[in-house]
Structure formats: structure tokens, C-alpha cells
Chains A and B, each alone.
Chain A
Amino acid sequence: MSDPGTVAVVLFAVMGLLLASGVWVAVALTAVGFVAMYFFSAAPAGSLLASTVWDASWNWALTALPLFIWMGEILFRTRLSEDMFRGLSPIVGRLPGGLLHVNILGCGVMAAVAGSSAVTCATIGRMSVPELTKRGYDERLIIGTLTGSGTLGLLIPPSIMLIVYGVVAQVSISRLFIAGVVPGAMLIALFMGYVAIRAKLDPSLAPPFEERLSWREKLARSRLLIPVALLIFLVIGSIYGGYATPTEAATMGVLGALGLAAASRTLSLTSFMDALMAAVRTSTMIALILAGAAFLSIAMGFTGVPRVIAAEVKAWNLSAWELLAVLTLLYIVLGCFLDGVSMMVLTASVVLPMVKDAGIDLLWFGIFTVIVVEMAQITPPVGFNLFVLQGLTGRDILKVTRASMPFFALMLLGIVIITVFPGIVTAPVSWMISR
């Protein structure tokens, strides 16, 4: 095998060249994977390309992705988003930052329904970006709150990422699901606090909320929230009522959205086809990138580079705190190029024993890892929430990245908080299980 440093530099250069010259992201990822595999491993690149892309493309858990996107497209063509904003505005409108909090809370709610961050981001963004822009909110904060809060889909159960970690690290998935809730709520609070402070310091970022409503009017307004509440109830209820798995619940969401569209008389053959074909465009784009990323990750695995890096870190014999600091850095760097699942799986065999040796609780480490993976969703060049928002708004990825960076920093702060106060993660689990 070639020197891992050389391999990393070559791949980095090829990726940079392809992306900068405007080659489509999915094609660039696949091509870099090909270079890695063809030049730096003994494995047959062609047949592995076809079989890896195939395996990544018919994944059961992934079926929820196009369905949730479709649901978002159907809802976008109803009055639901407008109603949701009118209904929520008396509730959050008086907070500094106003309706930007709808983005954060909306993602939080969506995260409890969906298992992936791209879906969370795409569904809420599809509804809220036009509404917030129309009302004159700051574009960077609109984009940042979406890419940032969209990552909550990974932390708040159900979560594809926690399931993968649980299987890899042999930690109970039910426990991980419980452990993810409070840190998820904590991140929501951090995001809302940040938006409030920014808006307080610079009132031009969020238009002033002029409406003054009597409590009777407020009550009337909150009735506008009934449809969205029904939809959430349908999706979450179908999971926790034991009728559907989290993946299947996406279909319940589509049925519910169609029902709402019919009830609000916005459902026609034209709007149905419109929503469906818009969903095709978005989900095709995301699924192809996921397939390309899967191939790149497998190719990296065949070169052995991620394992060499992890083994290198192990040789430094660090204390628990130092180890966590180094791992955070390592994951941030890897997270620029790999998708979360690959990052976790490829480094697990070396990192997990190290973590265990250092006396770190594997349950806690799962939540730590997922927050770091969340950060990877908003770092370029490979960051899925960036891709979603770029597709949605047409703004360049660098612009989207810049808007997301404060939220990256807030998640880093979140990591510091759970490291100093590990009880945030572990206490709810012991409380729930010993009940």
C-alpha cells in the first residue's frame, strides 16, 4: 500500500479540482472513489463500483427519503405552511428573531419523525424558505437555522445514525434513542438562544413583529395549527402506536399530506403531478450523491487510509480529554469528505477500543459521535445539508456554508457541554431504565 499521506493528498487534490471546475458533486465523489480504488488498492474498481452503488441505492432505510421529500412537496402546494406560520407567529413571534424560531422548532419536530438530516432539512426548508424570505428575514439566518437544525434528525430519535452506531459499538439502540433526546433539546435551546441574541443585537435581521392580538384572536390563530398537529400525530402516532416502523411512517406522512391537500381543496391532478415530479428531481439528486459517497467510502476503506490515521492517533497514548479533543478534530477533518455512516463504520474498529480503554462510556460516546457527524453534515465539500439548501435556494455552496458556520460552532459548544456534564446524556437513560 502507498503512503497514506500521499494517498490523502492526491485524493484531496483530485476532489478539489473536479469540484472547483464545476463537475457535479455525485460524479466527482464517484470519480475520486475510482482514483482511490484503481490506483491505491488491489481491488477491481469496476465491479465494486457497480455493486456498491447498487447496494447503496436499494437500502430499505433510504426509502423514507423520497417519501418525506414528496410529503414536503405536497404540503408546499397546500396552505399548510402559510397556516403554520400564521398559527406559530403569535407564539414565537414576540421572541427576538421571530419566525426564525419556526425553522428550529419545525426541524426539531420533523426530527422526531424522520431518521435523517437531509430529509428534516428538505421538508421544513421547502415550506419555510419562501415564507420567511417573503417576510423579509435575513437570508443567512434562514439558511443557517435550516442546515443547523436539520442535523437534529440524526440526534433526536428515530435516527438512522444511532442505529448504525448501536450495531457497530454493541450499545443498546433503545438506550441510545433515549440518550439522544435531551442533548437534542439542548441544541435546540442553543440555536434559539443564538438567533435571539443575534436579532437583539441587530434588529434588521428579523422584521419587527407588529401584530397585537387579544387572547381570543390568539386562540383562533392557534386553530390554524390543527392540520400540522394532525399530521405530526399521524406520523408519530403510527410509530408509537405500533402500526408502522419509522421508515414506513414516511408513507403515512405522504397519505396524511394528500389528505390535507384534499381537505384544503388544493389537490388536483396538476398539483399532484407537480409535487411528484419535484420530489423526483430532489430525491434523485440526493440519492445519487449518497451512492457516490458510499462508493468513495468503500474505496477509502480498501486503501486503508482511515484505519492508518486512527491507528496513528492510538499510538500517541492520550488521556481521555486529549483523546476526545483529537477525535473531535479527526472527525471534523474526515467529516469534510465522508458521509457520517462511513466515518463511523470505517474508524470504529480502531477508535472504539481506544475509547473503551480510556474509560469513556460507549453510550455517551455514541451521542458525542452523532453530534460530530451532525457537524460533518454542514462542512464542505461533502455536506448533505449544504447540498439540500443549495438545491433549494440556488445559492452557491460556499454561501450556504458561511451561513451554517455559526451553527457548526454551536454544536462544538454542545460537545463541550456534554463533555463537562456527561449526565445530560446518561442521567435520562438510567432514570428511564431503572424505572
Chain B
Amino acid sequence: MTGTPEGPQGFAAVSAPVAGPRGPLRRGLDALYLVSGALSGLFLVGIAVTIVAQVVARQLGGTIDSTETAGFCLAASTFLGLAYAFRRGAHIRVTLLIGRAPSGPRRWLELWCVAFSILAVAYFLWWAVDLVWFSWAFDEISPGLMAIPLWIPRSAMALGAAVFLIALVDEFVSILRGVVPSYEANAEHVLEGGE
């Protein structure tokens, strides 16, 4: 959990500086993570908005079904936020070994972690896209009052996974080039001091 008041502020917080040359590719990728993270925040607000609509409508005697829309916003927020949260070091792991390794072996360990994640996320992305295709081909529709074609919210899962995969590959290349991983450089915690 990050973002202490002393830390980077607001949207500036989305794209923390990364070491190395800042060419057009670098800027483009950072913009991608920024947009994806901002969309994630927007969908988080979307959960609240759709639930407020349901509660208010109920008091006024109307019916707005947010059981599904709130859930879809949640899934979209989760997956679109993956890459952004990753770059900011929010995803957790056991650092007992890796935190104590000398810098040489540590780099290899980091490469292994990122490479393994690339494999896992690529596999997941493949099947997430397959799920989108399936729900589109068989015209699957949500059962609630809103009757939303399921390929639409499921696309957000695939899209988020795709951006996450790009961020992982980006990270792999950076570590190969000797840059400190973004998830280490940008991580902030409430407690300071060493382990």
C-alpha cells in the first residue's frame, strides 16, 4: 500500500520516473500504464456510482440493478489496474531470499520472477481472449435486469492482462539492461527502515 502524503501526488503518482533514456517508446509505454491505471480508478468510482444509483432508486421506489454492473466495474478495475500496481510495487511476494541476495544473483532471480510471470500471464491472456471470443460467438448475456452481453465486461479482463503482459516484458528488458526494477524503485510503505 503506497501513496503517503509525502509521495508523488495525484496523477503524477501514476508515472514515477524510471531510470534510463526516455525515448518515445519509453514515454509511450509509461502513457499506456498511466491510462490503464486511470481507467482502473474510473471503474472503481463506477462501482460506487452504480451502487449509489441502486440505493437511491430503491428509496424512490424505482429499480436499478447494480448487482451486475458493480461486479463488472470491479473486474475492469482489477485487471486494468494490474500493470500500474505492478510498476508501483504493490503486488506482494516473499522477499526473504531475494532481499538478501547479493546484486549479481539477485538480478538473475529478478529475471526468473519476471520471466515466469510473463509465461503465466501470456497463458492467461490467451485464454482470456478465448473467453471473450467464446461469449461473443455464443452470444452469452448476463442474467440480470441489465442483460449485458458478457463479451463486453470480459474484454476488460483480457485488455488489462494484455497491458500487464506488456509491462512485464518491458520490465524484463529493463532488468537485462541493468536498470533497477520499477517495482523496487517505486515501492513505498508506511514503515521506513530496513528489514
Does chain A touch chain B in the assembled complex, meaning CB atoms less than 8 Å apart?
A: yes
Binding site for B on A (CB under 8 A): 18-28, 30-31, 34, 46-47, 49-51, 53-54, 57-60, 62-63, 66-67, 70, 73, 77, 122, 126, 129-130, 133, 139, 238, 243-244, 247-248, 250-252, 254-255, 269-270, 273-285, 287-289, 291, 381, 387, 390-399
Chain A residue numbers with a CB within 8 Å of B78 are 57, 283-284, 287-288, 291
The 7 listed contacts between A and B (C-beta, < 8 Å) are A23-B93, A30-B120, A57-B78, A275-B3, A280-B85, A288-B82, A396-B94
Chain A contacts for B2, CB-based, 8 A: 278, 281
Q: CB-CB < 8 A to A23: which residues of B?
A: 93, 112-113, 116-117
Bound complex: CA A396 to CA B193 (Å): 12
- Decide: A287 near B74, CB < 8 A? Known: A46-B127, A63-B51, A251-B55: yes
Which positions in B face A, CB cutoff 8 Å? 1-5, 9-11, 13-14, 37, 40-41, 44-45, 47-48, 51-52, 54-55, 58-59, 67-68, 70-75, 77-79, 81-82, 84-85, 88, 90-99, 109-110, 112-113, 116-117, 120-121, 123-124, 126-128, 130-131, 134, 153-154, 157, 187, 189-191, 195
In the bound complex, do residue A391 and residue B120 qualify as a contact, i.e. CB atoms below 8 Å apart? no
A275: chain B residues at CB < 8 Å are 3
For B130, what are the chain A residues with a Cβ–Cβ distance below 8 Å?
Answer: 46-47, 50
For B124, list chain A residues within 8 Å (CB).
30, 49-50, 53
B187 CB, nearest partner CB in chain A, Å: 7
Tell me if A273 and B190 are in contact (CB < 8 A). no
Task: Specify the main secondary structure of chain A where it touches its partner.
Answer: helix
6 other contacts beyond A18-B116, A394-B190, with CB at 8 A cut-off? Answer: A23-B93, A34-B120, A248-B54, A274-B10, A277-B37, A397-B96
Dominant secondary structure of chain B at its interface with chain A: helix
B190 and A280 contact, CB distance less than 8 A: no
Select which of A63, A77, A281, A396 is within 8 A of B88 by beta carbon.
A281
A21 adjacent to B109 (CB under 8 Å): yes
Take A129-B190, A280-B85 as given contacts and tell me if A50 and B113 are in contact as well, using a CB distance cutoff of 8 Å.
no
The minimal Cβ–Cβ distance linking A91 to chain B, given in whole angstroms, is 25
A66 and B47 form a contact (CB under 8 A): yes
Which one of A59, A129, A276 lies within 8 Å of B45 (CB-CB)? A276
Is B74 a contact partner of A58 (Cβ separation < 8 A)?
A: yes
Cα distance A332–B137 when bound, in Å? 44
Contact of A21 among B77, B97, B134 (CB under 8 A): B97
Complex: chain A residue closest to B134, CB-CB: A47
Shortest CB distance B39–A (Å): 10
Closest 4 CB pairs of A and B: A394-B189, A278-B3, A58-B71, A284-B81
Would A393 and B75 count as touching, CB distance under 8 A? no
**Judging by beta carbons under 8 Å apart, are B116 and A248 in contact?**
no
Question: Judging by beta carbons under 8 Å apart, are A391 and B90 in contact?
Answer: yes
The interface residues of chain B lying within 8 Å CB-to-CB of A73 are 3
Residue of A22, A28, A129, A274 with most chain B CB atoms under a 10 A cut-off: A22
